[in-house]
Structure 1
Amino acid sequence: MSYEWESAQFDSWTPVDAENAMRWVLRAMHDAQQQLREMRDAEVEAKHAHESARRNAFFSPDCPKPERGGFTVADREAFVEREAAAERRAYELATAAREAAQDRLRVLNSQSVVLAALNKNVQAAFNVVGAR
C-alpha cells in the first residue's frame, strides 16, 4: 500500500475535484443508509426467529420439566439454549452486521464534514486567484 498515492489524491484539488468528492460521499451515505435499513430489518427478523425458537423449545415435549429430585431449572434453560443456538448465532451475527453498517454511516458522515470544509477551502482559494 502506497501512502504517497493515497495522500496525493487529496493534494491540489480543483473545484471540480472537490465537488466530485462531495458527490461521492453523498452517494456513499445514501447507499450506507439503505444498507443500515436492510441490516436493521435482518436483525429484527433474526431476533424474532431466535425468540420463536426459544418458545418452541420451552414448550417442546422433550423439554425437561423441573421437579424436586429430577430436572432443574438450569437443565431446562440449557435445553432451551441448546435448541435455539443456531438462531441465537444468526441473531448475534445480524446485530454485528447492523452495528458495522452503523459504524460505516458514522464514518461517512465524518468524511462528509471534512470534505465540506475542504470544498470550502478549495472554492476560497480559487476565488482569490480568480480561477474557475
Structure 2
Amino acid sequence: GEGGGGGEAALSLADSTAFACRFLSDERLGTLFASAAARSEARGWLGGLCFCGLGEHAFPLLQSYIDRSSDVQTAAALLLSAPKGVLSLPLPRHWLDTYRRMLNRWQLYHARCRLDIAAARARSAEGERRVGEPA
C-alpha cells in the first residue's frame, strides 16, 4: 500500500471496480464512480471513460486529456465510436476538424480521407445505433 511498507500491490481498475460492484451499496457505488470520473477528468486519464462513457459527460475528460497531452488524434478516434448525435455537437466537431487540419498540414491526405470516411460512416450509422450499443 501507500507508505505502509506491507508490500501489497494496488488493485487494478478492473479488480477494484468488480469488488466495489459486489460489495458496495448502490448509493456508495454511485459516489465512488462519480469520484473516479472526477479524478480521471482532473488528470486527463482516458481510463475514466469506463465511468462516463463517450457521450457528453466525457467531454471534460477528453478536453483535459487533450490539454495535457496535445493528442487530439486519440480523442478523434474515440469519437468515431460515440453514441448517436455526439459527432454533430460543437466540441466533437471542433476536435475532428482540428485533427483534419493537422493531417492536411502534414500532407497526410490519405489518412485525412480515411478519417472523413470513418466519420461519415459513423454519422450515417447514428440513426441505426442507440446509446450504449457498440459502433
TM-score normalised to structure 2 length: 0.29
TM-score normalised to structure 1 length: 0.29
Work out which structure has the larger RCO, using CA pairs closer than 8 Å and 6 or more positions apart in sequence.
1
